[in-house]
């Protein structure tokens, strides 16, 4: 049973077609990565899922709900079940780790409590637990602008996790990180997906990382899906098709058949 069903999704920016008739079904607990060149439509696809970008046409069903039919308030409610992490972390730099993590709860709180920043003890304890899981509990009161890139992304993940999400969207989460931090982040996300049964939909441009961690790879080229299947079945020829002339620069080991 699919947690996310995308049918015939199309997006136009003026006359430019960013996404062309994209269809995709993702099961609960799957770890799916989307690979493709810059500008191929990965970011647009991701942001159409939670309607940060409005699709031009098509149907997006998350956990049985038709996303496009939702009004403002229901959309917000739906978004609370969808976490999102970003390439540039998107934290409030001057605030502490735990403050940033608790921002993830604002979607659940009443207007008054949320606007005044009043969090219950249960919420704070939950946040600390999540931070412990990510190895950041001792950094709880540190200002986020004093953290390394890898630590910042972990804060971003913690913020998404306190939402109790069913799906986490990841927009190039390791693009700004060095290889060692990248591995840490990918390991965390993989563990989260497996242990907490959270679905992950991730944009990536490192094909080798995608192959190593995902259950399924979706390849996008110029707004259309050109591959949708298991990582080990991905052929060099397909990678060349996805990346065009950049194919030679891609680190890719075709798995022996």
Partner 1 sequence: MIASLEVRKTFRRRNLVALGSFALIAALTLGSSVVTAFDWPASLRSFPKALDWMAANFIPDGRALRNAPKIGAKLAETLLVSVMATVLAAACSFFMAILGSKTTRLHPLVSGFVRLVASLCRNIPVVAWAMIFLLSFGQNVLTGLLSLFIGTFGFLTRAFMETVDETAESSVEALKASGAPWLATVTQAVVPSILPQVASWILYMVETNIRDATLVGILTGTGIGFLFDLYYKSLNFPSAAFVVLCIIVLVILIETLSNALRRLML
Partner 2 sequence: MKPRIALRRPTVPAVVLDATLLAMVGVTVLGFFLIDTKGLKAGPASLKLLSDLTKMFSRPVALHFSLPEALYAVLVTLGLAFLTTLLGAALALLLGPFAAKNLGRPAVAGALKAIVAFVRAVPTVLWVLIFAVGAGLGSVAAVVGMTFHSFGYLIKAYSEAFEDIDASVIEALRASGATWFQVVWRAVIPSSTSALVSWTFIRFEINFANAVAMGAAAGAGGVGYDLFMASGFYFNIGEVGFITYLILFVAIFLEIGATRLRARQHVQR
- Taking the least distance from each CB to partner 2, the nearer of 73 and 141 is 141
Q: Which does 14 bind (CB under 5 to 8 A by kind): partner 1, partner 2, none?
A: none
Q: Which residues bind partner 1 (CB under 8 A)?
A: 50, 52, 75-80, 82-84, 86, 88-95, 103-104, 106-109, 111, 114-117, 156, 159-160, 163, 169
Asked if 238 contacts 226 with a C-beta cutoff of 8 angstroms, the reply is yes
Residue 86 interacts with which of partner 1, partner 2, none, CB < 5 to 8 Å by class: partner 1
Which region, judged by CB under 8 A, interacts with partner 2, from 90-98, 104-112, 166-174, 219-227? Answer: 90-98
Say which DSSP state 162 is in.
Answer: T
- Which does residue 96 touch among partner 1, partner 2, none (CB within 5 to 8 A, set by kind)? partner 2
List the structure tokens of 187: 């390991």
Integer Cα distance of 221 and 205 in angstroms: 12
Is 57 a binding residue for partner 2 by CB under 8 A? The answer is no
**DSSP code per residue over 87-103:** TT----TTSBHHHHHHG
Identify whether the C-beta of residue 166 lies closer than 8 Å to the C-beta of residue 199: yes
Q: Which stretch binds partner 2 (CB under 8 A): 30-38, 124-132, 190-198, 232-240?
A: 124-132
Residue with tokens 């993989």: 190
40 binds, among partner 2, partner 1, none (CB under 5 to 8 A by kind): none
In the complex, minimum distance from the CB of residue 73 to partner 1, in angstroms, rounded to a whole number: 9
Tokens representing 204 are: 């990536």
d(CA 244, CA 36): 10
Q: Which of 38, 64, 141, 253 binds partner 2 (CB under 8 A)?
A: 141
The encoded tokens of residue 13 equal 């920016």
Neighbours of 107 (CB within 10 A): 15
Question: Nearer Cβ to partner 2, position 125 or 255?
Answer: 125
Residues β-bridged to residue 204:
35
Residues 165, 66: Cα–Cα separation, whole Å = 17
Task: Report the partner that residue 186 touches, choosing among partner 1, partner 2, none (CB closer than 5 to 8 A by kind).
Answer: none
In this chain, which stretch among 63-71, 116-124, 215-223, 239-247 interacts with partner 2, using CB under 8 A?
Answer: 116-124
C-alpha 175/C-alpha 182 separation (Å) is: 8
Which residues of this chain interact with partner 2, rule CB under 8 A?
A: 95-96, 98-99, 102, 117, 119, 121, 124-125, 128, 141, 143
């Amino acid at each position: 049973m699919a947690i996310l069903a995308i049918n015939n999704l199309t997006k136009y920016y003026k006359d430019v077609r960013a996404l062309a008739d994209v269809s995709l079904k993702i099961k609960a607990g799957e770890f799916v990565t989307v690979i493709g060149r810059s500008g191929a439509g990965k970011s647009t696809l991701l942001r159409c899922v939670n309607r940060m970008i409005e699709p031009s046409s098509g149907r997006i069903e998350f956990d049985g709900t038709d996303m496009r039919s939702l009004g403002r308030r229901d959309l917000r409610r739906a978004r609370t079940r969808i976490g999102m992490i970003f390439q540039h972390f998107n934290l409030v730099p001057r605030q502490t780790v735990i403050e940033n993590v608790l921002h993830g709860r604002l979607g659940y709180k009443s207007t008054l409590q949320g606007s005044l920043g009043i969090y219950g003890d249960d919420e704070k304890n939950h946040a600390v637990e999540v931070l412990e899981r990510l190895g950041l509990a001792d950094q709880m009161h540190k200002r986020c602008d004093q953290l390394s890139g890898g630590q910042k992304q972990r804060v971003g993940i913690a913020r998404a996790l306190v939402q109790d999400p069913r799906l986490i969207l990841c927009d190039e989460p390791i693009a700004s990180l060095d290889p060692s931090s990248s591995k840490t982040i990918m390991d965390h996300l993989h563990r989260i997906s497996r242990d907490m049964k959270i679905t992950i939909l991730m944009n990536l441009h490192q094909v080798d990382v995608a192959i190593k961690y995902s259950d399924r790879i979706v390849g996008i080229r110029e707004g259309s899906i050109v591959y949708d299947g298991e990582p080990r079945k991905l052929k060099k020829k397909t990678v060349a098709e996805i990346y065009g002339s950049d194919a030679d620069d891609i680190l890719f080991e075709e798995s022996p058949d």
